[in-house]
Amino acid sequence: MLKRLIPLFVLLFLFACEKQDRYAYEYLYNHLPFEMPKVHPPVFPSRKVSITQYGGVGDGIQLNTQAFADAMVDLSGKGGGTLLVPSGIWHTGPIVFRSNINLHLEKGALILFTTDKDAYPVIETSYEGITAYRCQSPLSGRNLENIAITGEGSINGSGEAWRPLKRDKVTERHWRQVTGSGGILKTPDVWWPFENAGYIRPVMVSLIECKNVLLQGVLFENSANWDIHPLMCENLIVDGIFARNPAYAQNGDGIDIESCKNVIVVNSIFDVGDDAICLKSGKDAEGRRRARPTENVIVDNCKVFKGHGGFVVGSEMSGGVRNVSVTNCQFLGTDVGLRFKSMRGRGGVVENIYADRINMFDIITDSFLFDLYYGGKSASESLEDGDITPEEETIPAVTDETPLFRNIYVTNLVSRNARRALFFNGLPEMNISNIHLENAYITAEYGAELSESQDIILHNLTVIPEKGPALLLNNVKNTHVTHFHSSAQAAVVQVTGTRNENIELPEEMK
């Protein structure tokens, strides 16, 4: 009997080992439309220490800046491991990461960054794609390997002590409470907490030139500026985080992935005051000189609530963005769903973007947007201000400052209750090109509008507008529409402009 059981034990042991060694993100690579190396989470030594061993006190009062600094230095000096943050409120100044450390927040743990501005010295860093001098980030790391922030706790950047506030973004009661607390009215409708707040406030999590990074499970909230900013990082996994900022938070982005390579963002929730999941690569001449694209990015199973855009590329994309897959995402009440933005002067190439199974509800402006006339405003602000595309008296020449968007494929998109179904607004000197939209069902106040675009394929597209035509074409070239469905009350299609070429429409649309 024993002899018969031994092989069974061996098989069970081998199965358990195989299951343990199985790559957790294998499913993301099935049918991936571009080559990308597998990104593995960093591995840490088994050594574990608690912040309490370094004098940390989680009473919400004591400042734990020195405790975190001592723990990072000591743990890193011993070869690394896990720094445990137990349940409690851990009030602290800036935390500077070291290599080979997993900062693990246990259930009930809250890292609360101090509102004392003197704790954050002004340093040289990068912001919005260019070199800048700003206050040190609450949580930062530079030129590191094997780092992680994990667990079930929260990190709060005390952003209300830093952020400007616009009157039209909050209730009148909120406005009176904030302006009555002190600070400065820069204009009758813009309040700053202190004189230079708008210029020096830092991103909350700044990781520069780091390799093998994991962010998992933690709530990142209330940042002074962008919530999470990986810059020139390689092998980054973001899994199951919640990035949260008030809807009125100025520059309150969720995550801005800039000039990074080999990135996975999955199973995460964003509810923020600006763009949610955003890809960047430097701004204008400095970004072109850096010449480091954001490339090889997988985004899957993410939800976005408030935010200027659900999935966004730009506007700082001067180093290029390429090889990106976005699947199984929901955008629920965002300003824009899929948002691509840039302007003359940027340069850079955005290409090989694939989005599939994207579902949206209550989109304030456009379900799917290309805006090559981006002027720094959110889409909803531009709508309120009545911004329109300028009339071109002369068309500029194409230079290295001309941005290029091409080879973008979107399939299986459903959007209910948007303002406008689509808006493709390219440049006359450099049309957005080779854009494929297939199997889409969109209900909106207005239909789909394509301008200065070429090599466009629309296949099996249903657009049901409340007003006007379902499809507006203006100065488009090589545009092919097949199996287009609509119940528009007006004419289904409207064609304007003097630079249209080779538009192919199904017979029922003519």
Question: Which residue reads 């379900």 in tokens?
Answer: 367
DSSP annotation string for 178-227: HHTTS-EEEETTEEESSTTHHHHPPPSEEEES-EEEEEES-EEE--SS-S
pLDDT > 60? residue 10: no
**Higher-confidence position of 1 and 136:** 136
Token digits of residue 407: 């080879």
Pick the catalytic residue from 271, 274, 335, 371.
274
Q: Please state the separation of Cα 96 from the chain's center in Å.
A: 23
Contact 451, 478 (CB under 8 A): no
pLDDT > 70? residue 9: no
- pLDDT, mean of residues 224-229: 98
pLDDT > 80? residue 391: no
Question: Which residue reads 């600070």 in tokens?
Answer: 183
SS3 10: helix
Annotated active-site residue 436? The verdict is: no
Which amino acid is residue 283, in one-letter code?
Answer: K
**Higher-confidence position of 1 and 213:** 213
pLDDT > 60? residue 64: yes
- Residue 92 CA to residue 196 CA, distance in Å, equals 23
Please, is 31 exposed, middle or buried when counting C-beta atoms within 10 Å of its C-beta (0-12, 13-18, 19+)?
exposed
Closest CA to 165 of 199, 137, 193, 194: 193
pLDDT in tens, 163-218: 999 999 999 999 999 999 999 999 999 999 999 888 899 999 999 999 999 999 99
DSSP annotation string for 340-400: EE--TT---EEEEEEEEEEEEES-SSEEEEEETT--SS-HHHHHHHT--PPP-SSPPPP-T
Closest CA to 131 of 235, 279, 284, 254: 284
- Residue 91 CA to residue 93 CA, distance in Å, equals 7
Per-residue pLDDT band for 20 (boundaries 50, 70, 90) equals low
Phi/psi for 232 (5° steps) reads 55, 40
Pick the catalytic residue from 308, 335, 356, 455.
308
Q: Please state the separation of Cα 47 from the chain's center in Å.
A: 34
Question: Positive or negative, the Cα torsion across 78, 81, 85, 91?
Answer: positive
Closest CA to 495 of 482, 508, 510, 506: 510
Phi/psi for 177 (5° steps) reads -65, -45
Closest CA to 183 of 252, 254, 253, 115: 115
What's the alpha-carbon Rg for the chain, to the nearest Å? Answer: 25
Q: pTM (2 decimals)?
A: 0.95
pLDDT in tens, 303-334: 999 999 999 999 999 999 999 999 999 999 99
Phi/psi for 390 (5° steps) reads -65, 150
Token digits of residue 289: 């000189």
SS (H, E, C) 299-312: EECCEECCCCCCEE
Contact 484, 509 (CB under 8 A): yes
Question: Positive or negative, the Cα torsion across 269, 49, 97, 38?
Answer: negative
pLDDT > 90? residue 460: yes
**Cα distances (Å, whole numbers) of residue 40 to 43, 147, 299, 417:** 9, 12, 15, 39
Please, is 151 exposed, middle or buried when counting C-beta atoms within 10 Å of its C-beta (0-12, 13-18, 19+)?
buried
pLDDT > 50? residue 495: yes
Token digits of residue 484: 């287009």
SS3 289: helix
pLDDT in tens, 228-247: 999 999 999 999 999 999 99
pLDDT of residue 491: 81
Please, is 152 exposed, middle or buried when counting C-beta atoms within 10 Å of its C-beta (0-12, 13-18, 19+)?
middle
Closest CA to 334 of 356, 300, 357, 303: 303
> Which range in 379-393, 439-453, 489-503 is most confidently predicted, on average pLDDT?
439-453
Per-residue pLDDT band for 18 (boundaries 50, 70, 90) equals very low
- Residue 71 CA to residue 66 CA, distance in Å, equals 8
Q: Hey, how many other C-beta atoms are within 10 angstroms of the C-beta on 358?
A: 24
Contact 333, 318 (CB under 8 A): no
- pLDDT, mean of residues 425-433: 97
pLDDT of residue 16: 47
Annotated active-site residue 308? The verdict is: yes
